[in-house]
Amino acid sequence: MLEALRSLQSARTQASNTAQELLAELAGPQATVKLVTWLPVGVVVLAQGLGFNILDALLTNLLAQLSVVAGVVLLVVANRWSNRMVQAATPSSDDPAAGLNLFIALLKSGQSLSVARQSVDETDLALGGLVATARTTGAPLADLLDARARAIREQHATRAKHALRQLSVRLTIPLGAAVLPALVCLVVIPLFISLTSTAETF
């Protein structure tokens, strides 16, 4: 039983470490989403601070007001679009090899092979091939199962990391399709109106 508990603890530790690595990979795309969301707002504040009277144009000019409304709508679309992409690429926290580790723990706790096989979903775990290999070669079944569990976790982590790295590139789509037009609506058009109004005043 002690060996079984150690096996389960080792499996949980490995799964936890993998989850932490994936969360670290996810931090980059999440930061990109925040930057994409707040970039136009920051540019507006910067332009106002540099002396471009954008706020006055927003308060007095209908075209500038409509432009800002369109920019805000585009920012909301970009934020929701980006968040959906991040959520779709976020890896599941479930351990993909949990069933195999339970089976290993049952074997190491002294349960017979037939009892252990009745306690798990044998179809999903594809145990038949490993059991046949163990009988043919004489290799310890628990060791074969442990190697399979580690391989499953590594494959799961590799696929998740690949998806997260692709996400960093795919996030440029809402940047080009929504954030840059929002930047034009929130900054360029009001700024142009502000400069035009100033020129007419002189």
Q: Give per-residue pLDDT as tens, 132-169.
A: 777 788 877 777 888 887 888 788 888 888 887 788 77
Mean pLDDT confidence for 77-106 = 79
CB 79 within 8 A of CB 179: no
CB 171 within 8 A of CB 36: yes
Reduced to 3 states (helix: H, G, I; strand: E, B; else coil), residue 138 is coil
Distance CA 85, CA 76 (A): 14
Position 9 pLDDT exceeds 60? yes
Q: Which residue has the higher pLDDT, 7 or 22?
A: 22
> What pLDDT score does 120 carry?
66
> What pLDDT score does 202 carry?
45
Using a 10 angstrom Cβ sphere, with 0-12 exposed, 13-18 middle and 19 or more buried, the burial of residue 178 is: buried
Backbone angles phi, psi at 90, to 5 degrees: -70, 125
Position 126 pLDDT exceeds 70? no
Mean pLDDT confidence for 178-188 = 83
> What pLDDT score does 73 carry?
92
Q: Give per-residue pLDDT as tens, 98-125.
A: 777 777 777 777 777 777 666 666 555 6
Q: How confident is the model at residue 127 (pLDDT cuts 50, 70, 90)?
A: confident
Q: Tell how many helices (H) and how many strands (E) occur in the chain.
A: 11, 0
Chain-centre distance of CA 133, in angstroms?
38
- Hey, what are 3's tokens? 């060996």
Residue 146 makes CB contacts below 8 A (sequence gap 6+) with 7, 104
Mean pLDDT confidence for 189-193 = 82
Domain ranges of the chain: 2-201
- Hey, what are 63's tokens? 């075209």
> What pLDDT score does 122 carry?
58
Distance CA 121, CA 119 (A): 7
**Percent of the chain residues topping a pLDDT of 90:** 1
Distance CA 70, CA 77 (A): 11
> What pLDDT score does 39 carry?
75
